Amino acid sequence: MSDQSRIYFSARANANALLAGGPAASVRTRVVHGALLYDHVLIDDGMWDGRSGPTGSWEVRMPLGTYEGAAELQTPRERWKAKGSNFYVAAKLSESSGPAHRMISSATTIAWRATFEPMKRSLPHAYPWLTFGSFDLYPDDKKTVSTMVTQDERDGVLGGLIPDEFPRKLVIASANFALVLGSRMDATVSLDVMHTRALAARIARGQASPVLGGGALAVVFPSAAALSWEQVDDARNHPGMKSLRARLAEIEAAALEASGGGRTLEVATMQAYADALHRDIDRLKPSFRGAVAAVAIGAGISIVTGPLPLLVGIGAGAMEVVAETALARRQHDRSWMAAADRLRPPRATPQGKAYVNGA
């Protein structure tokens, strides 16, 4: 078991969301969150193309360098046009001079082309914590995936979501392929919503489990999605980041338990975060209970009113509370609270200059 945590982003298991515009932006947000929550991020290089319909499926994986030009995100128009046409797959023996024999001919239910290449091109430079690569399973592992697909098909969870058999199997197979590959790499896998639902039956049977922390990060720090890659790298290097990761997992676990009592998960998450902040500031500077209470009340207002601007920068509020002593200040500056303050985009001074972390 590696002491380095990893998260893996599969092209085929994110293919539904790797669509130009808002869907692809949501994938970038998950990659940013993954970079903040894990030591290493693994992402598929190259391109994956899959077509499926009522009478068959076809897919092809194209490693980097096996196609001409730069891979681009599929556009909504391209996907829409492909769904309005039929696809077919033909084959013939290599020594045959006759026409190819049509193996599959079908209307199109799914027409997905997936690539992370535009995201890769957006990086200002390489980062040691981010790896784009060509990842695949051994033949025996692929047999395991086939068995898993049969098991999940019998469960029937996706029957209402994807009524046609072949498209449903393609989605289930892609989700399980990523799951097995992630287990071989000792990595958490991040899938789009469609492929996550394909694993619902497996999660219900206890054969896969959701990892906590990402949900709390998305709720408490929504502006983290807007961080640049350089800001993400800076936040990762903060000494309190590992503690923040653990704290977010604890906060999400507490929120899940509290939300069963009638609260919405978002409200429960915000309250769990405010409670954690209150406790840990209190440990740093017990004599400032009044100031800590003021911060907690502010968090409560944020919960009631809906928008979350106060808690996003609440790490800075904690610094102001504990700055009375040099020891408390040093403890804070290496704490998860100070790391949390790195998850804010830069603020602007009256002269229009950007600054961060109260500097």
Backbone angles phi, psi at 144, to 5 degrees: -60, -40
Q: pLDDT band at 346, cuts 50/70/90?
A: low
Strand partners, 158: none
pLDDT the model gives residue 107 = 87
Task: Among 45-54, 197-206, 317-326, 348-357, name the one with the lowest average pLDDT.
Answer: 348-357
Two tokens at 292? 């800590």
Q: Is the pLDDT of residue 143 over 70?
A: yes
pLDDT the model gives residue 67 = 87
Q: What percent of the chain has pLDDT over 90?
A: 49
Two tokens at 214? 């990402």
CB atoms within 10 A of CB 181: 21
Task: Among 118-122, 311-315, 337-341, name the one with the lowest average pLDDT.
Answer: 311-315
Q: Is the pLDDT of residue 100 over 90?
A: no
Contacts of 292 (CB under 8 A, 6+ apart): 278, 281, 282, 285, 321
Asked if 7 contacts 34 with a C-beta cutoff of 8 angstroms, the reply is yes
Task: Give the position of tokens 């989605």.
Answer: 171
Average of per-residue pLDDT across 214-221: 92
265 versus 132: the higher-pLDDT residue is: 132
130 versus 307: the higher-pLDDT residue is: 130
Two tokens at 322? 């504990």
Q: pLDDT band at 91, cuts 50/70/90?
A: low
pLDDT the model gives residue 216 = 93
Cβ-count burial of 300 within 10 angstroms (0-12 exposed, 13-18 middle, 19+ buried)? middle
Two tokens at 207? 């054969």
pLDDT the model gives residue 303 = 37
pLDDT in tens, 164-193: 899 999 999 999 999 999 999 999 999 999
**What is the rounded average pLDDT for all residues in the chain?**
81
Q: Say whether 44 sits in a helix, a strand or coil.
A: strand
